[in-house]
Amino acid sequence: MRRTPFLGLIVLLAAGWAWAQGSLTPRTIQVDTITCQDLLSLTGEQRDRVLIYFSGYLDGKRQTTTWDERVTGERIDRALIQCRAKPETSVLRVFTDSWAQ
């Protein structure tokens, strides 16, 4: 009888793990069409991946060879503030503006 609760726990953990894995379905996003609303609706890890991509994309366009965590963090924070204020705005536009400051 003691095995039943243990097996139930294993099933619940496995189901939770499978659900979490499914939530990170790989996506293909057109960089010039994603809006802030699209970005903000992503799950935490998906959103982080997009933020990493955009920061690298813009650093690459500027031929930046040094990563400054403070500066990049400030730029991302500015971009997210703009995104929350105007969700219909293009993420590329918001990031380009944030990288120009």
Find, among 84, 95, 101, the residue nearest to 32 by Cα: 95
Q: What is the pTM (predicted TM-score) of this model?
A: 0.70
Please give the domain boundaries of the chain with CATH numbers for all domains: 27-100 (1.10.890.10)
Q: What is the pLDDT of residue 23?
A: 55
Query: What pLDDT is stored for residue 101 in this prediction?
Result: 80
Q: Give the angle 24-67-58 at the CA atoms, nearest 5°.
A: 65
Name every residue whose Cβ is closer than 8 Å to that of residue 94 and which is 6 or more positions away in sequence: 36, 79, 82, 83, 86
In this prediction, residue 13 carries a pLDDT of 39
Q: What is the mean pLDDT of each run of 10 residues along the chain (101 residues)?
A: 42 41 69 94 92 94 93 96 97 94 80
Residue matched to tokens 């099933």? 11
Q: What is the DSSP letter of 23?
A: T
